[in-house]
Chains A and B, each alone.
Chain A
Amino acid sequence: MMPGYDLLALGFNQLFTDPAAIGLFLLGLVAGSFFGAIPGINMLTLGAVLLPFSVQMDAGHAIMLYSVIYCSGVFGGAITAILFNIPGAPENAATAIDGYPMTLRGQSKRAVGAAILCSALGGIVSTFVMIGAAEGISRWAIKAIQPAEVFGIIAVGLAISASVGAKSFWKGWLSVLFGMLLACVGTDPIDSVPRYTFGSYYLYAGIQTVPMVLGVFAMSEILAQATGRGLMSSTNGQGPGLGLQEIWSHRLTVCRATVIGFLSGLVPGVGATLASFVSYGTEKTMAGPDAGFGKGNIRGVIAAETANNAATGAAMIPVLALGLPGGALTAMMIAVYQLHGLEPGPLIFVTSPEIIGLVFAAMLLANIGILALGWVESHTVTHLRRIDIRYLMVFLLILSTIGAYAERNLMIDVWVMFGAGVLAFKLRELGYSLAGLVLGLILGKIGEAAFMKAALLADYSIPVMLSRPITALCLITALVITLAGAYRAIRSRSFESQRF
């Protein structure tokens, strides 16, 4: 088997001597970014559209194209999250929490710049690690990170999310718990028992994340604008761009986010969404309550975008090393391999080194390409905010509706989006956390399934579950965060009452 960096050299050689490969690389880079930026219609849609055409392509070209789309697609969703508070995909939802307030403060160019640079950094680092030690890392990850560890990480995520964007600690927790209640709609992850379906077969599938994200973030803003209570306004001000010095000052955030994103991406079923929220929450907790998170702190954008792109690079490791896809697009990649008579897994490094080399080279260049693409976007797309707000809202309404429908081609998802929009509009006015609500939904689903699996594997023994160090550490951290938040909330309330 060739060493990873020899494969990379082989891949560069193939890529740069093949005009068709260069053309497909550029197509994947631009199209992935474009589709990723359209709410609801993301890189998976593009992957589906291209699947039949990939059959006609050379195997190396087809697999390379999907790898490039995977890199650029995750980055694309950050732009709309920052400019319009509409995440292109759930993995960009954490980016909106601070990215959008930055736009409202006239700093959109700086926020977009941070997203671009950090997406590229996270992606490049994880790609280098993938090239260097794919198989060893993959085997370690699937052994070390079991359902109990996933549950522990999610517990930390939930504890942190209660402190994101709500007017008080209690409202934060209520938002998260309400999201978790919505996550119960559908069938339970163990025995498929229907819950809160109210006799509707359409609710058996549960509340889908994409229409919920679009409703909570986009529809609530559209309703707020319609009633004259919106936050967004047309603006000519994009503010200054991002200096490299500023990113350097956040180097530790970038490092932490890369590690969190990388570890999350390695485990099938965890992925980029959890990575971005845990990374965001870690920075928020470390910075303390007075750091202005949720009000336009660039560190929030850096944490979320570095982590979600680091996760996508890492997610390729189990695909290539073991043939284990972590999400829908990586599952589609496996299908592309199989359509060409190839099977990803340890043997592919021996049987098709030229294809693996091409994937390595293309993914590395795609992450570098994000920088160039991002520079163009930061000088062009940010001008969309100059459009009259009334027209912009109509445009966003159309996009959101299409995005909600596109998820499953079912009208119920459009109704869910509208319902979530009305609900979020009211909750926002009352000071509840919209991010907490969405996080409760996303993490609640993964967390319940992880907890039940962990419980079965531990024969329903809590001491056995807690004997796993990572799980115990995470659960203690979650408890400390929650108790510290409660203590601060109680103390500030007693100060308030003394004042009166």
Chain B
Amino acid sequence: MKHFLIATITSLVAGSALAQDLPMVDNYPERGITFTSPYKPGGGSDAVTRAMAQAFAEATDVRTTVVNKPGGDGTPGTLDFLAKKPEGYNVLQGYDAVVSGYLLGNSPVNPATDMEPLAIVNITFNQLLIRPDETRFTDFDTLVDYMRAHPGDVKVANVGDPGSMERIMMSKLEEAIDVQTVQVPYPAPAERYAALIGEHVDVLFEQAGDVATFVKAGEMKPIFSFVEEAPELFADLPTLTTIGAGFKPLYRFRGFWVDPRTSQDRKDWLEAAIRAGYDTEGFQAFNKSKYMDLMDSYRDADGAKTLIEDALATYAQAYKSLGLIK
């Protein structure tokens, strides 16, 4: 965190059974593993990194350290990570912004080739939310009616970057149902939530798990899920399929990368260790608290690479259609 002293997580659980299942590598690891989160402390990416670092230590009996290098959508932190010796002692956390950043020229690092994914541990979907006491519209259908009757009147709290997954999804939805909204950018999640609760905006675009507390507390009401098949918990909400949107959803995914120059046996060990961390009770409880258990949230190294390559192709197509790239 702020941040050089760093949060160090030492597993207090000795002799973990999970540690014995890891592949043996000569003289490795001889020291602790550093998890770099190129994002702010206190946010979603930081939370995933810390949860994994703790689970990793618990599963492997190897000391882990978390370092935050925030700013610039993660690019400075990523470049700093790639400048380190590729000895397998540094792991980078990232999310789907690595794809958009690369395609839009905000980062020189191709997340599929310039660094190697170890695993994706966190996949979630987006929702539209309104205030429960909203009277102008009470569900998705009445919201669409209202938006058609008042073009450009509805304000949606969203993130700032027009190339982000969130903004692309919202643009595609507008196109699919032929409505127009005003996207108001609030970079900090808390500002977005306050904007809806405080009646600055009419609708919030957010990942389901991030606002679960507010939904449970009756402060927000989900009215639409950006998925093809509704998860059981939100079975009564319309989805892209039920409204015939004609485009595939993009998901928020978070995972871990390693420098591709690292030796293969160390990469294999790290991949196995991340998997072992993912399987711990603590990490599973963390994912559940964020609704990450509603869909298959894990991809191994090969699966992660496929997911990232697919995302690169999908985002590139979306950017071309939106005129963001040629």
Contacts and interface: CB of A to CB of B under 8 A. Distances in A.
Given A56-B12, A412-B76, A201 B108 contact: yes
Contacts of B80: 409-410
Interface stretch (B22-30, B212-220, B296-304): B212-220
B185 A328 contact: no
Contacts of A42: 2
Interface stretch (B38-46, B248-256, B308-316): B38-46
A41 B42 contact: no
Interface string B1-14: 11111111110100
A407 B3 contact: yes
Contact of B47 (A47, A202, A335): A335
A201 B187 contact: no
Nearest to B107: A201
B172 interface: no
A499 interface: no
B73 interface: yes
B42 A325 contact: yes
A324 interface: yes
Nearest to B3: A409
A486 interface: no
Interface residues of B, number: 62
A205 B12 contact: no
B193 A192 contact: no
A146 B108 contact: no
B161 interface: yes
Contact of B5 (A41, A139, A192): A41
B1 A332 contact: yes
Nearest to A141: B198
Contacts of B163: 192
B3 A48 contact: yes
A456 B184 contact: yes
Contacts of B217: 323, 343, 345-347
A161 B8 CA distance: 41
Contact of B3 (A206, A347, A406): A406
A453 interface: yes
A328 B2 CA distance: 9
Contacts of B54: 52, 55
Nearest to A190: B185
Interface centre among A267, A323, A347 (most CB of B within 10 A): A323
A147 interface: yes
A324 B193 contact: yes
B267 interface: no
B72 A49 contact: no
Contacts of B79: 201-202
A191 B106 CA distance: 12
Nearest to A210: B2
B182 interface: yes
B221 interface: no
Nearest to B100: A192
A343 B69 contact: no
Contact of A322 (B41, B186, B191, B219): B219
B15 interface: no
A205 B72 contact: yes
A143 B187 contact: no
Contact of B77 (A41, A192, A410): A410
Given A186-B72, A189-B187, A408-B70, A47 B1 contact: yes
Interface residues of A, number: 68
Contact of A335 (B42, B71, B76, B213): B42
A281 interface: no
A204 B106 contact: yes
A204 B6 contact: no
Contacts of A226: none
Contacts of B186: 453
Nearest to B66: A48
Contacts of B17: none
A331 B70 CA distance: 15
Contacts of B197: 139, 142, 322, 324
Interface string B43-62: 10011001000100000000
Contact of B160 (A191, A202, A331): A191
Contacts of A323: 193, 213-214, 217
Nearest to A326: B190
Interface centre among A51, A326, A402 (most CB of B within 10 A): A51
B132 interface: no
A100 interface: no
Contact of B185 (A44, A205, A453): A453
A208 interface: yes
Interface in B173-195: 182, 184-188, 190-191, 193-194
B198 A410 contact: no
B227 interface: no
A459 interface: yes
A325 B10 contact: no
A482 B70 CA distance: 36
B200 interface: yes
Given A56-B12, A202-B79, A332-B41, A45 B2 contact: yes
A409 B7 contact: no
Contacts of B185: 189-190, 452-453, 456
Interface string B155-169: 100001111000000
Nearest to A269: B191
A190 to B, nearest CB: 5
A268 interface: yes
11 contacts: A41-B2, A143-B198, A268-B190, A318-B194, A323-B193, A324-B194, A324-B197, A325-B190, A347-B216, A409-B3, A449-B187
Given A406-B2, A408-B77, 19 more contacts: A44-B41, A45-B3, A48-B7, A48-B41, A139-B197, A142-B194, A146-B200, A192-B106, A201-B106, A204-B76, A322-B219, A323-B214, A324-B193, A328-B41, A331-B43, A344-B213, A408-B71, A457-B182, A459-B152
Interface of B: 1-10, 12, 40-43, 46-47, 50, 54, 66-73, 75-77, 79-80, 106-108, 152, 155, 160-163, 182, 184-188, 190-191, 193-194, 197-201, 213-214, 216-217, 219, 289
| Nearest 10 A/B pairs, CB to CB | A205-B71, A331-B42, A48-B1, A204-B72, A142-B198, A205-B72, A44-B2, A343-B213, A52-B9, A406-B4
